[in-house]
């Protein structure tokens, strides 16, 4: 059954832009109102990012102390905080939320008074600071997951991630609401991406995955960092021979969504050469259209048609 497109080409183009670039483009068009709208979008993204990574790290450390025999927070931090090996894991670990809120208000105020240069200078500085904090959090989480896998095994990685990953995107929201939520959480990684919509699905295309793929390309799974490659085939590896430990959160999110709603919220289709070729993410409009292979790789059985709900636009 064909389904009409929900998003215009322009909506898709803007949705895949870095917010700092969308602000700049709006100001070049002398569209202050839209520029301020993108500042608000930018604010939501950087605040979501810092809360996600700080919360993720804290939850994983708490899980270790609760579930791993003799697992101590201080021992894990000592193991991962070799800053000569991984300097990005160092740096400011304070909570920047209130300061970042103030910066976005300053950006909007500069736009309102017509000082676009000041607005863009502040926006670029915030983007760069947030990206450094993003990469700090991402590297620390990968190192903690590596510690869990080496100490407690592959199944423990899955158990820890089930506790750590937010389920806030699960539920029976409309296709548009689910798509906009996934757009937001993709922009949280502060990289641009492409979006394509057809009758069947929305496809997210990243030239390189803005999180796990960038880590691979930067050598996190090689000496000297040597983050863990999880060996498969296993549901955590999508049935592949191996996958980087950081990337294991994707199959966990898909499985948790299946258990909560009967279908994966979204589908990650990893590249053959992770970190060097584009990964794709699919958001299907009708659960019945999701190919069976995306269930079997997780060790799941595709629901029968009568259990699959129709599109919610």
Tell me if residue 197 falls in helix, strand or coil: strand
Q: Which spans in the chain are helix H?
A: 9-15, 19-28, 32-67, 73-80, 97-112, 116-152, 154-164, 175-187, 212-217, 249-261, 293-296
Rounded to an integer, what distance in angstroms lies between the CA atom of residue 4 and that of residue 8?
11
Edge-to-edge strand order for the sheet containing 194-197?
194-197, 201-206, 279-284, 267-269
Which tokens belong to 308?
A: 């699959």
Q: What is the largest CA-CA distance in the chain?
A: 60
pLDDT on residue 83: 96
Residues with Cβ within 8 Å of residue 290, at least 6 apart in sequence:
263, 264, 267, 284, 302
Torsions phi, psi of 298, nearest 5?
A: -95, 5
Torsions phi, psi of 77, nearest 5?
A: -65, -40
Do residues 230 and 265 touch, judged by C-beta distance below 8 A?
A: no
- Ordered by start, the domain boundaries in the chain are 9-307
* C-alpha to C-alpha distances, 210 to 187, 215, 301, nearest whole angstrom: 9, 9, 30
Q: How many CA atoms lie within 13 A of 17 on its CB side?
A: 18
pLDDT on residue 102: 98
Tell me if residue 156 falls in helix, strand or coil: helix
Do residues 204 and 182 touch, judged by C-beta distance below 8 A?
A: yes
Rounded to an integer, what distance in angstroms lies between the CA atom of residue 144 and that of residue 64?
9
Do residues 41 and 126 touch, judged by C-beta distance below 8 A?
A: no
| Cβ neighbour number for residue 169 with a 10 Å cutoff | 18
The residues with which 267 forms a beta bridge, in sequence order, are 282
Q: How many CA atoms lie within 13 A of 44 on its CB side?
A: 14
Rounded to an integer, what distance in angstroms lies between the CA atom of residue 225 and that of residue 217?
13
Rounded to an integer, what distance in angstroms lies between the CA atom of residue 167 and that of residue 101?
25
Rounded to an integer, what distance in angstroms lies between the CA atom of residue 42 and that of residue 65?
35
Buried b (16+ CB within 10 A) or exposed e, 189-199: bbbebebebee
pLDDT on residue 275: 79
pTM assigned to the model = 0.93
CA angle 51, 116, 94 (to 5 degrees): 25
Rounded to an integer, what distance in angstroms lies between the CA atom of residue 139 and that of residue 72?
19
Q: What is the DSSP letter of 93?
A: -
Which tokens belong to 259?
A: 């258990």
The one-digit pLDDT tens for each residue of the chain (313 residues) are: 456 889 999 999 999 999 999 999 999 999 999 999 999 999 999 999 999 999 999 999 999 999 999 999 999 999 999 999 999 999 989 999 999 999 999 999 999 999 999 999 999 999 999 999 999 999 999 999 999 999 999 999 999 999 998 655 555 678 899 899 999 999 999 999 999 999 999 999 988 888 998 999 999 999 999 999 999 899 999 999 999 999 999 999 999 888 888 888 889 998 888 878 888 999 999 989 999 999 999 999 998 865 555 444 5
């Amino acid at each position: 059954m064909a389904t009409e497109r929900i998003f215009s080409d322009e909506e898709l183009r803007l949705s895949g832009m870095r917010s700092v670039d969308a602000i700049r483009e709006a100001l070049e068009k002398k569209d202050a109102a839209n520029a301020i709208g993108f500042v608000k979008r930018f604010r939501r993204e950087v605040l979501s990012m810092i809360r996600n990574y700080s919360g993720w790290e804290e939850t994983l450390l708490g899980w270790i102390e609760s579930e791993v025999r003799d697992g101590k927070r201080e021992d894990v931090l000592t193991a991962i905080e070799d800053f000569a090996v991984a300097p990005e894991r160092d740096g400011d670990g304070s909570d920047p939320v209130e300061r970042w809120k103030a910066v976005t208000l300053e950006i909007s105020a500069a736009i309102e008074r017509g000082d676009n240069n000041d607005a863009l200078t502040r926006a670029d500085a915030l983007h760069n600071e947030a990206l450094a904090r993003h990469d700090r959090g991402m590297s620390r989480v990968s190192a903690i997951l590596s510690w869990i896998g080496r100490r407690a095994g592959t199944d423990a990685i899955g158990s820890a991630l089930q506790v750590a990953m937010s389920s806030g995107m699960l539920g029976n929201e409309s296709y548009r609401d689910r798509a906009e939520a996934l757009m937001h959480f993709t922009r949280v990684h502060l990289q641009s991406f492409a979006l394509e919509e057809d009758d069947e699905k929305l496809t997210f295309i990243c030239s390189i995955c803005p999180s796990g793929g960038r880590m691979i390309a930067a050598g996190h799974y090689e000496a000297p960092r040597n983050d863990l490659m999880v060996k498969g085939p296993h549901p955590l590896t999508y049935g592949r021979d191996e996958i980087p430990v950081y990337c294991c959160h994707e199959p966990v999110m898909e499985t948790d969504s299946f258990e909560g709603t009967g279908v994966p919220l979204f589908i990650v289709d990893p590249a053959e050469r992770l970190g060097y070729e584009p990964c794709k993410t699919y958001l299907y409009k009708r659960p019945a259209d999701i190919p069976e292979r995306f269930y079997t790789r997780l060790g799941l059985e595709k629901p029968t048609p009568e259990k699959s709900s129709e599109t919610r636009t």
